[in-house]
Amino acid sequence: MSGNTSANKGKAATAAPQWYAAGLDHIWLPYAQMKTASLPLAVTATRGSRIVLADGRELIDGMASWWTACHGYNHPHIRAAIERQLAAMPHVMFGGMVHEQALTLARRLTAMLEPGGLDRVFFSESGSVAVEVALKMAVQYWCNRGIAGRSRIVAFRGGYHGDTTGAMAVSDPETGFHAAFRGLLPQHIIADMPVDDASTAALDALLAQRAEEIAAIIVEPLVQGAGGMRFHDARALRTLRTLAERYDLLLIFDEIFTGFGRTGAMFAFTEAGVVPDIVTLSKALTGGTLPLAATIAHSKVFEAFWSDDPAKALMHGPTFMANALACAAANAALDLFEREPRLDQVAKISRALAAGLESCRKLSGVTDVRVKGAVGVVELDRIENLNALRQRFIEEGVFIRPFGTIVYLTPAFTIAADDLAKLTRAVRSVLA
């Protein structure tokens, strides 16, 4: 990997297995300036909340693999379900065919979202694609009803909805990762979250002026994840539901990060007591094992596509949509939410994060400490060297990946109390 000194590279290659040295110069890592990025860790196994490195070290995982491994790594119930499905049928195309795992999963997901009318599930392979599907549903909904011109989406500053073109276009263009693509992206409407009287009035006025060109509003409920772990309360969601109804707009809740217990409820939007027209799910859906996402539409949205006219069909179809292995993993992951006390565990994690991170408020450079469910955030006025900070956490025996100006924890819900204490202790120690 160019940019790292030959001495460091040679040292890493000596300590790592042959496959690491042989393959390192042929990969392109995510969210990384390859010239200056630290060498990636060689991982050989995962279990529970532990990452096992090729050199024998174990790290406590504070990220749950980008928030996916909510039940911990290698849960035997999920692994067994995947193995059974692999023996029977790893995949079959979803065009003109269906299978038990997908239909069972769709039924279970819609049952979890009742009452409210969210009853049609479109499967895909990633959160970004789930958002793309939601946006296409929203725009075509109006076309199918014979209403022209509604092609804009209202999204919010601090928001992040994915890295594909449509998802980038509804993410914050200033704080996001996508400034280089501004000339490529469709121009949507980025507004302030309605968190007080002034911002609510501003959004109301904007919608009043431009409603006839707007198809939908999209928001990450309660926590804007990759945009900076920004929190807002349930009143903002109720405000958005009220405004969507006032101006006859669709409301999309992006629960890819927040869904499946991360904020303390199974789905974040339920804390507000409102129902979206479309919701997107991914991340923890398969317990961190296989890629899968779902875009779930309200019956009123689906009805706009129900027609004798082939042109009114939703023309989208990911090759691996409803992959049987992934759906089997997701069904097993849902079993665990039913059988094991995950939300109680989230509540305990929330209390431990609040207690363990509170003293960071006194540290130089810390501007905020906040906790919501199993999300703990320490915000700094600046982070001058992300690579160095990430390396310091590794030296403490934990895997924590700060970004922007935040250090955050999103551990597995099954993490042991002493492992969680080590994570919060490492944050305090390194930041001090």
Among residues 31, 233, 300, 381, the one annotated as catalytic is 31
The region of weakest confidence among 15-19, 41-45, 349-353, 368-372 is 15-19
For 57, residues 6+ apart whose C-beta sits below 8 A from its C-beta are 397
What is the predicted pLDDT for the residue at 16?
77
Question: Cα–Cα–Cα angle for 17, 21, 26, nearest 5°?
Answer: 130
Q: 254 an active-site residue?
A: yes
In whole angstroms, give the CA distance from residue 289 to residue 294: 16
Q: 247 an active-site residue?
A: no
Reported confidence tier of residue 429, pLDDT bands at 50, 70, 90: very high
Among residues 20, 73, 160, 408, the one annotated as catalytic is 160
In whole angstroms, give the CA distance from residue 99 to residue 283: 22
Q: Which residues pair with 407 in a beta bridge?
A: 378
The region of weakest confidence among 5-19, 178-192, 208-222 is 5-19
Kind of pairing between the strands at 375-380 and 406-409:
antiparallel
User: Pick from 362, 401, 329: which is nearest to 83 by CA?
Assistant: 329
Reported confidence tier of residue 186, pLDDT bands at 50, 70, 90: confident
Percent pLDDT > 70 in the chain is 96
DSSP state of 85: H
Residue 224 has pLDDT above 90, yes or no: yes
In whole angstroms, give the CA distance from residue 369 to residue 50: 25
Among residues 61, 163, 172, 254, the one annotated as catalytic is 254
Q: 31 an active-site residue?
A: yes
Q: What is the mean pLDDT of residues 360-389?
A: 97
Q: 362 an active-site residue?
A: no
Reported confidence tier of residue 114, pLDDT bands at 50, 70, 90: confident
Among residues 20, 73, 172, 283, the one annotated as catalytic is 283
User: Pick from 238, 239, 156, 221: which is nearest to 375 by CA?
Assistant: 221
Regarding pTM above 0.85, the answer is: yes
Q: Which residues pair with 295 in a beta bridge?
A: 122, 280
User: Pick from 134, 102, 72, 83: which is nearest to 280 by CA?
Assistant: 134
Question: Which secondary-structure segment (H or E) carries 43?
Answer: strand 43-47
Reported confidence tier of residue 377, pLDDT bands at 50, 70, 90: very high
Read off the pLDDT of residues 48-80 as tens digits, 9 standing for 90 and up. 999 999 999 999 999 999 999 999 999 999 999
How crowded is residue 70: how many other Cβ atoms within 10 Å of its Cβ? 30
Task: Please give the distance of CA 305 from its chain centroid, rounded to a whole number.
Answer: 28
Percent pLDDT > 90 in the chain is 92
What is the predicted pLDDT for the residue at 176?
60
With 0-12 / 13-18 / 19 or more C-beta atoms within 10 angstroms meaning exposed / middle / buried, residue 359 is: middle
In whole angstroms, give the CA distance from residue 194 to residue 94: 40
Say if CB 328 and CB 81 are below 8 A apart. yes
